[in-house]
Every structure is written in C-alpha cells, then in structure tokens.
Structure 1
Amino acid sequence: MKQGLSLRVSQHLALTPQLQQSIRLLQLSTLELSQEIEQMLDENPFLDKEFEEAPREEFGLDKADAPARDEEMEPMREVPSLDGGMSEITVDNTASDTEPSVDGVAESWDGDGSVEFSADDSEWGGDAPASNNNNTADSDTADATELARMQESLTSHLHRQALALRLSPTDQAALRYLIENLNDDGYLEDTLRSLAEGLGGDDEEEIEELEHRFQVALSLLQSLEPVGVGARDLAECLTLQLKALTPKGEEALQIRDTAIRMCKQPMEMLAKRDFKRLAVIVGDSETNVKVAIALIARLEPKPGRRFADVERHVVVPDVLVTRVGKSTTAPKFKVALNPDVMPRLRVHDIYANALRGGKGEAHAGLQQRLQEARWFIKNIQQRFDTILRVSNAIAERQKNFFVHGELAMRPMVLREIAEELGLHESTISRVTTNKYMSTPFGTFELKYFFGSGLETDSGNNASSTAVRALIKQFVASENPKKPLSDNQLSEMLKEQGIECARRTVAKYREALRIAPTTLRKAL
C-alpha cells in the first residue's frame, strides 16, 4: 500500500453554538424561557437583570409631615403619565465605548472569527412596564397564580377534618397514612393488603393487624367530605355518594336503591345506556332505570377535582391583538408582544468595564463569558422579533377571524407563512408551538390558526377549524331528545356547500370532545 497526501474540497453544514442557542430558545415556551434565563443569570456573572427602583427619599422623619415647597412640586407636575399601552421590543444603546476585541475568543460563537460588536451592554425591552406587585388589603382583584397558591389541597382538607375526630393515636396514624396515599382524584389505588405489607414486612400477624386498622380507617376516611373520597373504583365512589343522599318519599328512595344496584353492574352497561337490559338485571321498570341513570349522571366521578392545583393551567399570552379604531367597514388590529413576558436583561457594566485593557489567559476566558452574555441577549431579542413577525403575518391572513370568530377562519399551512417571511417551515413550527395569542375571542395557541382545507361547491376551501366550529354549532342547537348522528351532520355540512365524509365528521366530533349520539340523547 502506497501512502500519499491529497487535497479534497467539500462543503458541509455546521451549526455554530450561537445558532444552536438561537434555535433552542426559539422553541421554548414562556415558562421554559424564564427557567433558562434564571439558569443563565446564575452561571454568567456578566448577565444582569434590570430592576426598576423607586427614588429614595432624601429627607428625614422630622420633615415627613412638612408641606412641600413650590419648587419641589414643580418637577412632579412635569412628569408625563405612564403609558399603559402595549410596547414592542426596543434596544437602548447607552454604553459609551465599544469593547476591545480579543483574537480567537469568540470564533466558536459567531462562526466567522469576528468579535466586532456594537456597544449594547444596556438592557433591552426597556419599554416594558414593571409588573405590579402591590398587595393592598382593599384590592378587589387577585392574580390567578396567587389564588392558586391560596387554594387548599385535598390532603390538607382531609387532615383538617381528621383532627376533629376523637381517635386513638393508632387510628389517627392509620387514617393519616390512607389520606397520604390518595391520588389527585381522591381514589385509594393501592389495596389495604398491599399497604399493610409495605409496613409490616414479613410478619404475617402484624400485617393482619395493620390491615384491620386500615379497614377501620377507611370507613372513617369515606365518611369525610367530599363525599366519595377514599373509594377504590368508580362504582364505589358513586355508591358512596348515592348512600349519602336523603331522598324524600318512597318513590325517590326506590330510585336511589335502583341506582345503587345499577352501580354494582359493569360501568360499560351504564355508558351504553342499555335501559332494557338494565331494567331486567336490577328488577325495576325501564322508566325508573332512566331516572336512576339521570341521578347517577349528576354525581361527581372525581371527588378531588375541585382541589386540583390550577396554577399550572394558567396561560400567559405571548402576543396581544387589540382592535384599533372604531371603523366597522375596514377594522384594523394591532399586534404587539406582551410586556409581561419580556425579560429585562443587560450586560453588567461594572464587570464589562473592568475587562478593558486586560491581558492573559484568564482575561480571554472572562471575555468569552462576556461574549456569551451578549449573544444570549441578542438571541432572546431575535426570538421575540421572530414571534412578532410570525404573529403579524398570521393576523394579516386571518383578519376575518378577529372580526367574526372561528367560523370565518380560512385554511392556512406553515409553508405560506414561511414563504412570506423568508423562513424555513421548521422555524415557523418552533415559533407556533407553546406560544399563545390573546384575541377578542379568547387566548389561542399560534398553531390554532393553521389548518387544512376542505373543498366547497364554490371551488374554494373551507378551513378545518371553521368546519369544527360548524359542527359544534349544529350540536349545540340540536333537539336533545333526537340528537344528530354523524351522517346527519355530514349531510348538513353538504347543505352548506362543504364536502365532509362521515368519518371526518366523527374525527372532528371526537376532537371537540362531543359525545356520540347515544350518550347525548336526553332521558
């Protein structure tokens, strides 16, 4: 084998660390971005968060009650009122000097070996007003997350009731142990035997004693509020709630007893509402069976539902769309970023100025960290700029939606927005995932405005979102005693000029969480 040297010219695509960070920040949600910023603030000493602080009073307590002089009040009259409107991203260039470059430091961050940057060490997003943290006692409104924090959990609610029971220390401990093993819906998923084995080990006598204690504690748990808590399955949960009812009259008592006997049957029979078969099994008339099913339908299948943590369900919109002007013929809308989700970041001026004129390997490493802080701020700004561009394009194409609602939604795919803005479809997909827009009709994910089209008699296409809205409208206005089938819904859509097969109607109905005909039929 002969050895030799040869030259080869080739091209390949390489993502620089700065571009990789930009792509990663683009696909993060608002909550994930906040966590990323907090982590970066902990790791990079050159990155700082801007805080607005009130000016300190320069007079003492002895002058606190003294009337202000005219020359002191004059500047206050000249202060303009705060603008409560929505602001877009702005960059304030307040640094006086540019940073000297260091050869080879930032090559891994910008991809071209250049470290020439404009002096942009100040905060960005400066027009965003600071959040209001005034917690006054006479406030009529409260933040949703604060209400969620104040909400009592299911376990705390049950523990508080257990304290009012006069129990021995052993029974109190057994009851407390069962409460801690409930799931979020209020069910006891583990069997009493498995719980006893987890505490008793290999001692069979101790296991049996623990199981007996747990059986007593279970009866106490199921007597607490909310009714149905501590059930092992849905049938037991419904039965506990039925037994807690106090019917008035023999007929009502008979209906309740019939409902209890029905809960002992497989739940599939109740879901299918097979009245005739249930009437034969429980030994009652078909009429009473229908009334009993209606009674069961009013029960709560998840007793712990109202104690669920609602804080994680709070959605903060990234983009705000508001109507501008009062014109009805040509309405205009303003698209702006939500100032509450825009971070206020800047490069720490004191640390950055301390690096000027330094030399050595340690200085080069610190200069690298400074460069990373600048790139991080720039990439976050680019993220919000891209979100705003995409949102403007969506609002322009779906203008009828902001006027008439989802029935006026037009079909749109990611490729259309990508071609209009000169971006890749994958970029549009990242921007529209877990990003939300506040509109006059509610808050929606940006992906909500994209949808395929269905053919119409006029030759145009109807958006799948508009078709789902039509189906929802048809079902809402149907006769409860004779609900519309999927075939009937398909025919009604054809009357509107929209070709939609029965299977497509069924898929849209399930996506809207609309029950089938048999379950929607009124008793």
Structure 2
Amino acid sequence: MKSSLGLRLGQSLTMTPALQQAIRLLQLSSLDLQQEIEQVLDSNILLERDDDDTAADSADSAAETNSPTSSSSTEDTASGSDDTPSLELREDAEIPAEMPVDADWEDVYDDLPIQPRSSDDDELRDFLEANLRRSMGLHEHLIDQARMAPFTDRQAQIAEYLIDAIDADGYLQSWSDLLQQIHARNGASPEECDAVLALVQDFDPTGVGARDLSECLRLQIEAMPARTPGAFAALKIVDDHLSLLARGDIEALARACNEPVAEVHAALTLIRTLQPHPGRPFQAHESDYITPDVFVAKRSGRWVVSLNPEHTPRLRINSHYQGLIRRADSSRDQQMLKQHLQEARYFLNSLEARNETLLRVAQSIVEEQRAFLDYGPEAMRPLVLRDIAEQLGIHESTVSRATANKYMLTPRGLFELKYFFSSHVQTTGGGVCSATAIQAMIKRMITAENPARPLSDATLSELLLKEGIQVARRTVAKYREGLGIPPSHERKPPV
C-alpha cells in the first residue's frame, strides 16, 4: 500500500459565527428572543438598553459608535484570552454593514459546530416540564399521602372511597349519599367514615375533603396558629354568617359576632387569604399567552404591517465602555473590551437583520392574502413557502424560519404566520382553491345545516362540487376532523 500527498481544489459553503447567530435569532419565538436579549445584556458590558429619552445622549452614542476611533479599534482585536469564551476574532476582521440571513443551515450542518444549550436553559426547560406539564393531580397527591398515613386496612379502604369522591375543587359532594355507598360496599358505619374523613382533612392541601364552603374555610383557619389576628372572629363568620360576609356588611357582622369592628376587619383580611377551592392549584393550569410579533392595519386603503415594539427593544453600545478601548493597547482588559464590542455589533446587526426579514416576509404574506383580510377565510389563497421565497429573492428555509412560532394580529383575529400557508385544490373551472378556504366552506355548511338532518361527508362533497370545488369524500372527512367537527351521526340530536 502506497501513501502519497495530493492537492485537491473544491468549493464549499461556510458560515461565519455572525451568520450562524443571525439565522438562530431569526427562528426564535418572541419569548425566546427576549430571553436571548436578556442573556446577552447580562454577559456583554458594551450592550445596553436604549431607554434614554434625551436626544443629546442618543446622538453622542451614535457618534461614538460610528467614530473612526471606534471602528479602527475593532480591527485590532485579537483572538482573546482563554477565559473569554465567545466569537473568535482576527485582527483583520471587519463587520459588514448588513448581515445576510439567507442561507440553508442543512447545507453545512455536518461541518459546523453546534453551540450546546446552557445549563440554565436546560434547568428552565426541566422545571417547566415538571411543573406545568407533568404536575401531580389532586387525587394522586391525596392517594400518596394516604399510603403513608397510619391507616388500618379497613381505614385505608374507606379513605380510598373518600378520596375518589373528592371533586376537582377539593370538596366532598352529597355526603349522605356517599355514606350509604360506603356502607353498602364494606359495611362501614357513619362514625367510622367521620373518623377517617377527619384524618383525610388533615392532608395537604389544607381544606381538602370539606363538605361545604363553611367547613373548607374553617379547616384552614383551624390550621393556623391560635394567636393569628382575627382568627377567632373569622371562625364565627365562616360558621354562621357567610351571607353577611357575602354582602360585605361590616357593621352587621360586628353586631352578629359581638366583636369590635376592628376585629371584624382583621377577620376579613384573614379570610381573604384563604383558598375557597383547595383543589384548584392541582388542576391543569398551564396557559399559553400569545402576543403578536407583527400588527396588520388598513391605512388609506392599504394593508400595512408593523413590528410589535415590545418584541423589538432598542439596544445600543455603551459609549462609556467604548471610549475606554485603545487601538494600540493589547492588555487583557483591552482584549476583553474589544471582544465584547465585536460581539455587540454582531448581535445588533443580527437583530436588525431578523426584524427586517420578519417584516418583509409578513408584508409579502399580507399582500398575497389581501382577500382573506377583506372577505374572510373563504377567500384565502393557496400559498406555499416557495412563493414568498421567490418574491423576496431569499431561500425557502429562511421563510420557514421567519414564520416559525411567529404570530400576526389582524382585524380578523390573531393567527400564526403558518396559518396563511396551505395547499391547493383544483377547481372545476381550472383554478385553484386553498385548503383553508375549503375548511371555511365546510364549517359554514355545517353551521347552517338542519340539526335533524346533519350533512354527511358525501353530501358536503356534492355541495362543494356545486360551488366549483371537486373534493373527495375522504378529503372532506379529513378537513372536517381538522376543524374538530364530529361526523354526521354524532351531530344528530337524540330522539
């Protein structure tokens, strides 16, 4: 076997760290972008929020940022010390005025190192998944406590019946009926059930297993220290005067409880801290709060797109720290400042490129879907990512990143940008119709149907054909299921 040396020429696409950052910022959602900005602000001393309203400071900052001294100082940056991890810089590194974001990540995926997620990101994700998506339910929480309680076998069986009867709010409903059911199952007497219930009511959360609101509040008050201000008067109120409490009649409560008005005020303050529904915190409570990334409004007969200013904070380079940079100084502190300056400019350019790309893509979508904004979902046009990419002269993957997890607020509601893209179906007249428009037609037809004679999928297909849209019954069924509408036999009211 013979070894030899050879020279080979080839072309390959490479991505600078700045371009990698621009692409990564483009595909971030608004929430992830805010977190990214906060992390950069915390780690880079040369970046700061532009919250100063004085024009003089803003002008000074802009002048210092664009000054020859500042520009030349970045050209003299070195690779940096070992303990300043970030972008690797060269002495002849130059920062482009505009940061391109149009590149296909998959083309160079195998050749580029991927920055690992920080441990803070992983810990945050684990916390959210553990506390929001896999939180323990109330019944599971109570069963776990019952297994650790010093119950006899008979008491454990009664406790299981009681816990199973506790509703999602933490209450026991129809106590007398429940006693009869337990007695029929294992012959337990009301006294035995009362004794086990008293033990279950000591479980967490406090107030669980109550048979009414008065008992629920009383259990929580009794669990407090005896010297809690207002506790004695609060017990009187929740036991006998809930109607007066509901009316908020302080003087009537004071007379009924034979307590001073100040004591009643303390009792009311205490009662307001109680949980009338102890089981609520164990219910699925994850909420998705969506704020739009772009706004759409009609001005002078034209649909105009604008970015949400809350998602595009104004950042600038700190003029004080920038003024400390000296071109000829190669000390460790100077290297750190130059490194941070380069990273800050990379980030500002990447953020500006993200906003510009998102605005262009959103404006192009709006121009394509003007009919939807004017007339509704049935006027939605077929649209794919390639159409927007060809219009803007960018890569299709760039459009995909720009529309991922982004939302648009229109006069017709809040929509994800992906909503405006849909496949097309040929019409009998030789044109095309979007799948979204067909779904809107199906929904309209089902809404107007006779409840006694709901429309089948085959009938819907025939009605669509009359409107010039040829769709198979299976396709109608798929669109109907996508709308969450049950089939015709389930929509028919019971006789």
Q: Same fold (TM over 0.5)?
A: yes
**Is 1:497 paired with 2:464?**
no
Q: 1:521–1:218: structure 2 CA closer, same or farther, 3 Å change rule?
A: closer
Q: What is the aligned-residue RMSD (CA, Å)?
A: 3.6
Which residue is 2:294 aligned to? Answer: 319
Matched, 1:508 2:479: yes
How far off its partner does 1:515 sit? 1.2
Q: Which residue of 2 is the match for residue 412 of structure 1?
A: 383
Deviation at 1:191, TM superposition (A): 8.5
Unaligned stretches of 5+ residues in structure 1: 56-91, 121-179, 229-243, 245-302, 326-330
**Distance in 1 between residues matched to 2:281 and 2:475, nearest whole Å:** 33
* Partner residue in 2 for 1:424: 395
Structure 1 residue aligned with 2:413: 442
TM-score, normalised on structure 2? 0.61
Q: Which stretch shifts more, 495-504 or 217-226?
A: 217-226
Partner of 1:115: 93
Question: In structure 2, what is the equivalent of residue 101 of structure 1?
Answer: 74
Report the residue type matching 1:43 in the other structure.
S
Pairing 1:47-446 to 2, within 5 Å after superposition: 47-52=47-52, 93-95=62-64, 97-98=67-68, 99=70, 100-103=73-76, 105=78, 114-117=92-95, 183=137, 188-189=139-140, 192=143, 195-197=145-147, 199=148, 212-213=158-159, 215-216=161-162, 219=165, 224=170, 309=285, 312-325=287-300, 331-357=301-327, 358-446=329-417
Instruction: State which of 452, 471, 481 in structure 2 corresponds to 1:481.
Output: 452
Cα distance, 1:410–1:112 mapped onto 2, change above 3 Å: farther
The alpha-carbon deviation at position 196 of structure 1 amounts to: 3.7
Cα shift at 1:506: 0.7
| Aligned equivalents of 2:469, 2:135: Cα separation in 1 | 52
Q: Please say if residues 322 and 333 of structure 1, whose CA atoms lie closer than 8 Å, have aligned partners that are also in contact.
A: yes
In structure 2, C-alpha distance between the alignment counterparts of 1:369 and 1:469, rounded to whole Å: 52
Runs of 4+ in 1 over 4 A off after TM superposition: 1-4, 52-55, 106-114, 117-120, 205-228, 303-308
> Would the aligned equivalents of 1:196 and 1:211 in 2 still touch at CA under 8 Å?
no
Q: 1:346 to 1:226 in 2, by over 3 A?
A: farther
SS of 1:471's equivalent in the other structure is helix
Distance 1:217 1:339 in 2: 50
Separation in 1 of the partners of 2:467 and 2:281? Answer: 40
* Cα distance between partner residues in 2 of 1:117 and 1:181: 48
Counterparts of 2:53 and 2:155, CA distance in 1: 63
Contact 2:378 2:440 in 1 (8 A): yes
> Which 5+ residue runs of structure 2 have no aligned equivalent?
56-60, 81-85, 99-133, 175-211, 213-278
Matched to 2:47, the amino acid is: L
Tell me: CA distance 1:225–1:464, structure 2 relative to 1, closer, same or farther (3 Å): same
Q: Which has the higher contact order (CA 8 A, sep 6+)?
A: 2
CA contact (8 A) 1:93 1:119 kept: no
**Does the Cα contact within 8 Å between 1:18 and 1:375 map onto a contact in 2?**
yes
TM-score by length of 1: 0.58
Q: Confirm or deny that 1:23 pairs with 2:23.
A: yes
Greater percentage in helix: 2
Displacement after TM superposition at 1:29 (Å):
0.5
Separation of aligned partners in 1, 2:490 and 2:451: 10
Give the conservation status (yes or no) of the 8 Å contact 1:106–1:114. no
Amino acid at match of 2:476: V
Deviation at 1:215, TM superposition (A): 4.6
Going from structure 1 to structure 2, the CA distance change for 1:478 and 1:420 (only over 3 Å counts) comes to: same
| Residue pair 1:106, 1:115 contacting (<8 A) in 2 also | no
User: Partner residue of 2:262?
Assistant: none
SS in structure 1 at match of 2:139 = coil
Distance 2:152 2:337 in 1: 64
CA–CA distance in 2 between the matches of 1:222 and 1:493?
45
Number of residue pairs matched? 341
Report the Cα offset of residue 494 of structure 1: 0.3
Measure, in 1, the Cα distance between the counterparts of 2:409 and 2:316: 28
CA contact (8 A) 1:398 1:410 kept: yes
Q: Which residue of 1 aligns with 2:33?
A: 33
- Counterpart in the other structure of 1:130: none
Between the aligned partners of 1:350 and 1:307, the Cα distance in structure 2 is: 51
**Distance in 2 of aligned mates of 1:223 and 1:415:** 51
Partner of 1:84: none
Q: Is the 8 A contact 1:22 1:379 kept in 2?
A: yes
Q: Is the 8 A contact 1:386 1:431 kept in 2?
A: yes
- The 2-side partners of 1:119 and 1:14 are apart by 19
Contact 1:484-1:517 within 8 A present in 2 as well? yes
Instruction: Give the percent of matched residue pairs that are identical in Structure 1 and Structure 2.
Output: 41
2:461–2:476 CA contact under 8 A, matched in 1: yes
C-alpha distance after superposition, 1:24-46 (max 9, x if no partner): 11111001111111111122222
Cα distance in 1 for residues equivalent to 2:173 and 2:478:
36
Match of 1:89 in 2: none
Q: Is the 8 A contact 1:16 1:110 kept in 2?
A: no
Q: CA shift at 1:225, angstroms? A: 5.3
Rate the CA distance shift 1:223–1:355 in 2: closer, same or farther, 3 A: closer
Q: Deviations over 1:3-22 (max 9, x none)?
A: 55432222222222111111
Does the CA contact (< 8 Å) of 2:165 and 2:173 recur in 1?
no
Residue type at the aligned position of 1:390:
V
Partner amino acid, structure 1, of 2:390:
E
Q: In the aligned structure 1, how far is the partner of 2:172 from the partner of 2:36?
A: 40
Q: What is the Cα deviation at residue 453 of structure 1?
A: 0.8
CA 1:453/1:181 → structure 2, altered by over 3 Å: closer, same or farther? closer
Separation of aligned partners in 1, 2:452 and 2:490: 11
Where 2:292 maps in the other structure, the secondary structure is coil
2:419 partner letter:
Y
Which letter maps to 2:93? V
> Deviations along 1:74-104, whole A, 9 cap, x unmatched?
xxxxxxxxxxxxxxxxxx9443623223446
CA distance in 2, matches of 1:427, 1:119: 20
Work out the CA distance in 1 between the residues paired with 2:67 and 2:5.
49
- Residue 493 (structure 2) aligns with: 522
Q: SS of the counterpart of 1:479? A: coil
